[in-house]
């Protein structure tokens, strides 16, 4: 169930427009009421060894329309990386993140010795997930998970998460009252799903509970353990801002395309301050979130962990950038990229790309990885620089086809 952590995060980030609003899907229930379904689940939990005292937490659980509406009614949007990063890595959040590094230096040092994950990486994700615990969500988790499990879109996944939430209560980590979080079922300082909580939560402060809501040390240590499980390599970089020359083959810029640094150095990539890159075999991908005129980064092997944590292009890159800033890197150079297209224009780009045979995914008005790849193919066909960033000029050229 490890992937469920990313699934729930992406549910909150996904662009589902008003046209996607729908009635609750109960087609798999055969007319069974929510109360009858919950009674069956209670029996299943009892057979799995969950005590009657824990099961009493289900007594007040009912179908929650607010959860359903959140699941179906998220607005689509088109936001540039710079706009997203400006909010995610604000001056205030930078200051508080730096303060958290100092306040929890001893804990983070121990976590890094145990997991190999540096403090700035953990603190950056903590800041983006809950603003350092400032807002961990107010939805009763059992109600949210029961609503999503009764619905027929992803019933088995959320049913398993609901049972795991009860197991968290059963083993004494959290009380039912403490099980509050996002509408999608994530809880605590670093927003773990119940299955991720059960597998990776640790009692770092030694009080006998794995408390990711009330104990910052437990939350930070658990985040380090989880990040390590995603493939973190101790002592390796994760992201570096760079500068690109006109000679750089833009087609090669993509998260999924890696080359040795010697390749990037040879084609005109330098460090952000103009110094030469080490011409070694360290693998890295060139990421141009706003095309050839915007910020540029080399993403190393450890960047993949940020993507595994949340496979949203803007989120993963902003989180990795935030971590570099907390580790001492200067502000990125903003470049001079054209503004991102509005959501309706981006949706039109996606529709036109799909019609041309360049797969851009479901038209949702968001610039995701699949859309970028489709844009590159169309740019190549149109004789434009293949940087994967759709501009208004690009849209006009599509319209002219």
pLDDT by position in tens, the chain (length 401): 455 565 455 444 443 333 344 567 889 999 999 999 999 999 999 999 999 999 999 998 999 989 988 887 655 567 999 999 999 999 999 999 999 999 999 999 999 999 999 999 999 999 999 999 999 999 999 999 999 999 998 999 999 999 999 999 999 999 999 999 999 999 999 999 999 999 999 999 999 999 999 999 999 999 999 999 999 999 999 999 999 999 999 999 999 999 999 999 999 999 999 999 999 999 999 999 999 999 999 999 999 999 999 989 999 999 999 999 999 999 999 999 999 999 999 999 999 999 999 999 999 999 999 999 999 999 999 999 999 999 999 999 999 98
Give how far Cα 350 sits from Cα of 48, 361, 362, 384, Å: 47, 7, 8, 17
Asked if 141 and 185 count as a contact pair (C-beta separation under 8 A), the reply is yes
* Calpha distance 14→76 (Å, rounded): 8
**Are 147 and 63 within 8 A, CB to CB?**
yes
Query: pLDDT by residue (tens digit) across 269-320?
Result: 999 999 999 999 999 999 999 999 999 999 999 999 999 999 899 999 999 9
Q: Residue 77: what pLDDT?
A: 67
Paired residues of 180 in beta bridges: 140
Q: Among residues 335, 393, 395, which one has the least CA distance to residue 365?
A: 395
Mean residue pLDDT of the chain comes to: 93
Q: Which domains does the chain have, with CATH numbers?
A: 3-74+138-199 (1.10.8.350), 241-301 (no CATH), 343-399 (no CATH)
Distance CA(124)–CA(227), nearest Å, equals 12
For residue 92, the surrounding DSSP H or E stretch is helix 91-103
What is the CA 337 to chain-centroid distance, rounded? 24
323 touches 121 (CB < 8 A) = yes
Cα separation, 295 vs 274, in Å, equals 14
Structure tokens given for 262: 């010697």
Residues 6+ apart with CB under 8 A from 195: 1, 2, 4, 5, 160, 161, 164
Look up residue 261 and give its two tokens: 């640094």
pLDDT of res. 231: 98
Res 15: pLDDT:
38
What's the pLDDT score for residue 71?
Answer: 80
- Residue 357's pLDDT is 96
Phi-psi region of 233 (alpha: psi -120 to 50; beta: other; left: phi over 0): beta
Secondary structure, 3-state, 121-152: HHHHHHHHHHCCCCCCCCEEHHHHHHHHHHCC
Tokens of 302: 């450890």
Q: Tell me the three-class secondary structure of 21-68, residue by residue.
A: CCCCCCHHHCCCCHHHHHHHHHHHHHHCCCCHHHHHHHCCCCCCHHHH
Residues in the chain: 401
pLDDT in tens, 114-158: 999 999 999 999 999 999 999 999 999 999 999 999 999 899 999
pLDDT given at position 74 = 55
């Amino acid at each position: 169930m490890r992937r469920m952590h990313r699934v729930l995060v992406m549910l909150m980030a996904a662009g589902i427009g008003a046209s996607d609003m729908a009635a609750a899907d109960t087609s798999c229930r055969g007319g069974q009421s929510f109360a009858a379904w919950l009674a069956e689940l209670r029996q299943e939990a009892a057979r799995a060894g969950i005590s009657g005292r824990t099961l009493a937490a289900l007594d007040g659980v009912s179908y929650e329309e607010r959860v359903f509406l959140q699941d179906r009614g998220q607005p689509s949007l088109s936001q540039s990386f710079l706009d997203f990063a400006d909010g995610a890595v604000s001056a205030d959040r930078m200051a508080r993140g730096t303060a958290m590094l100092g306040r929890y230096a001893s804990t983070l040092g121990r976590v890094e010795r145990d997991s190999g994950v540096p403090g700035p990486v953990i603190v950056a994700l903590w800041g983006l997930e809950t603003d350092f615990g400032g807002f961990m969500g107010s939805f009763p988790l059992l109600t949210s998970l029961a609503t999503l499990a009764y619905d027929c879109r992803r019933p088995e996944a959320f049913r398993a998460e609901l049972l795991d939430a009860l197991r968290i209560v059963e083993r004494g980590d959290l009380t039912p009252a403490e099980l509050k979080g996002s509408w999608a079922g994530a809880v605590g300082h670093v927003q773990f799903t119940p299955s991720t909580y059960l597998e990776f939560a640790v009692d770092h402060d030694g009080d006998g509970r794995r408390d990711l809501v009330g104990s910052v040390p437990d939350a930070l240590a658990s985040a380090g353990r989880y990040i390590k499980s995603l493939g973190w390599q101790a002592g390796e970089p994760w992201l570096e801002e760079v500068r690109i020359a006109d000679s750089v083959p833009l087609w090669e810029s993509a998260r999924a395309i890696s080359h040795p640094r010697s390749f990037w150095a040879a084609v005109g990539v330098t460090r952000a301050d103009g110094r030469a890159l080490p011409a070694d075999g360290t693998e890295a991908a060139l990421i141009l979130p706003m095309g050839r005129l915007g910020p540029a980064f080399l993403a190393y092997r450890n960047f993949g962990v940020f993507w595994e944590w949340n496979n949203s292009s803007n989120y993963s890159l902003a989180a990795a950038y935030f971590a570099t800033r907390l580790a001492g890197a200067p502000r990125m150079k903003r470049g001079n990229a054209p503004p991102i297209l509005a959501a309706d224009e981006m949706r039109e780009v996606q529709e036109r790309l799909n019609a041309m045979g360049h797969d851009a995914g479901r038209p949702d008005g968001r610039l995701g990885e699949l859309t970028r790849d489709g844009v590159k193919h169309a740019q190549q066909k149109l004789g434009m620089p293949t940087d994967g960033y759709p501009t208004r000029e690009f849209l006009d050229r599509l319209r002219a086809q």
